[in-house]
Amino acid sequence: MQINPRNGLSAAEIADHVSASLLGSAERRVLSVASLGSATSRDLAYFSGPRRGVNPQQSQAGTILCRTADISLMPEQATLICVPSPQLAFIDIVEWMYPRQNAYSGVDASAVIHPTVKLAPNVVIGPLAVIGANCLISAGAVVGTGTILGQNVHIGEDTELVARVTVLDDCEIGARCLIQPGVVIGSDGFGLANDQGRWRRVPQLGRVIIGDDVDIGANTTIDRGALDDTRIANGVKLDNLIQIAHNVEIGEHSAVAGCAGLAGSSVVGKHCTLGGGVGLAGHLTLADGVHVTGMSMVTRSISQAGVYSAGTPLDTNERWHKNAARFKQLDRIAHRVQALELRLNAFQNPNEEVL
């Protein structure tokens, strides 16, 4: 990634952008950004604290964002830009150096747009997009290549649907959202009723309502509600390949990693995190500030903030088989231990009445 192949930016310009102090050559040129391990003398990297396998003293980076407390860990040749949070400063700098740019502008001639659609100023509609009746596309929004919008869809200001996004009837997406390719919003939830051994579909009449500043990763699906709405609050971040079932609610600024599955009517509080592959059973509630580690299965509501884990960590196959066999014996062993405790207590306290 190159800013300007000939000139780039000076370390002083970058430090000024994030209101940071600078140690070393103010005129050192920065042409690109990179990780500490792969950076060269013309790259900007950052160090936010010790990490396994990362030795900053071995880095060849010419300019490094770091905390003042970590200056002694930095390589001698580097120009240092000292900030309280190097990672956040790095994000600010990268967004400044590499603003998102659309591959096209205006409304492409191949797009199919219903006559009742309302397009605000500065809207971009990409090739082969299809937009249904009574949709509202707000100012600065981007409807990318091959995207399909059903009827009565509302897209907020400066929201970008990158490509091949499907948003079905009556759904609403807030402002400044970023929706990656393959996302499906508003498909029917998995609502079924058993009628004498045969499954009947339950009509899914709700919507999907997505707040502002929400990011949704590639091929994630969000089902519409059965009667009430599925709701994704402001600032939520969703990774790739997540399944969110009907009537789920996710609170503000929560984040969910890839391959997680949230069953119907589960409620996730504010500022929660769900690791990769986490599964939530239906009709349960997670309090604000709950953090569930990867591959955990949540089968009950959690009322207290904190970190929660489940599952068996990886082990050698031989040891796993032995532990699995012993796991099946736990109930019998527990009864034996309880009986031994009662006998020991009777021996130590012969005059105590046994309940």
| pLDDT, tens digit, 9 for 90 and up, residues 149-184 | 999 999 999 999 999 999 999 999 999 999 999 999
Model confidence band, residue 354 (pLDDT cutoffs 50, 70, 90): low
**Percent of the chain scored above 90 by pLDDT?**
88
Distance CA 169, CA 187 (A): 9
Which tokens hold the place of 221?
A: 């699906």
Structure confidence at residue 353 (pLDDT): 65
Distance CA 114, CA 124 (A): 16
Contact 281, 263 (CB under 8 A): yes
Kindly tell me if the per-residue pLDDT of 249 is higher than 60.
yes
pLDDT top residue among 211 and 8: 211
Mean pLDDT of the chain: 94
Kindly tell me if the per-residue pLDDT of 103 is higher than 90.
no
Q: Exposed/middle/buried for 274, CB within 10 Å: 0-12, 13-18, 19+?
A: buried
Each residue's pLDDT tens digit, 274-307: 999 999 999 999 999 999 999 999 999 999 999 9
pTM of the model: 0.89
Model confidence band, residue 5 (pLDDT cutoffs 50, 70, 90): very low
Kindly tell me if the per-residue pLDDT of 2 is higher than 50.
no
The DSSP result for 305-319, as a single string, is -EEE--S-----HHH
Q: Which of 246, 271, 291, 335 is catalytic?
A: 246
Structure confidence at residue 355 (pLDDT): 53
Domain 9-97 is found in CATH 3.40.1390.10: yes
The H or E element spanning position 335 is helix 330-348
Average pLDDT over residues 69-75: 95
Model confidence band, residue 140 (pLDDT cutoffs 50, 70, 90): very high
**Percent of the chain scored above 70 by pLDDT?**
97
Helix (H, G, I), strand (E, B) or coil at 177: coil
Kindly tell me if the per-residue pLDDT of 1 is higher than 60.
no
Distance CA 232, CA 226 (A): 16
Distance CA 269, CA 342 (A): 44
CATH topology for 112-308 is: UDP N-Acetylglucosamine Acyltransferase; domain 1 (2.160.10)
Q: How does strand 9-10 pair with strand 29-30?
A: antiparallel
Residue 146 CB contacts under 8 Å (≥ 6 apart), including other chains? 126, 127, 128, 129, 163, 164
- In degrees and rounded to multiples of 5, residue 353 shows phi and psi of -75, 130
Q: Exposed/middle/buried for 236, CB within 10 Å: 0-12, 13-18, 19+?
A: buried
Average pLDDT over residues 258-274: 98
Average pLDDT over residues 255-283: 98
Structure confidence at residue 81 (pLDDT): 97
Distance CA 143, CA 10 (A): 36
User: Could you tell me which of 225, 207, 210, 218 has the C-alpha nearest to residue 266?
Assistant: 225
**291 catalytic per annotation:** no
Average pLDDT over residues 118-132: 97
- Taking the CB of residue 289, how many other CB atoms lie within 10 A of it? 17
pLDDT top residue among 215 and 348: 215
- Taking the CB of residue 143, how many other CB atoms lie within 10 A of it? 32
Contact 141, 120 (CB under 8 A): yes
Helix (H, G, I), strand (E, B) or coil at 148: strand
Model confidence band, residue 16 (pLDDT cutoffs 50, 70, 90): very high
Each residue's pLDDT tens digit, 314-350: 899 999 999 999 989 999 999 999 999 988 888 888 8
Partners of 192 in beta bridges = 201
Distance CA 286, CA 270 (A): 9
Average pLDDT over residues 350-354: 69
Which tokens hold the place of 247?
A: 């009537």
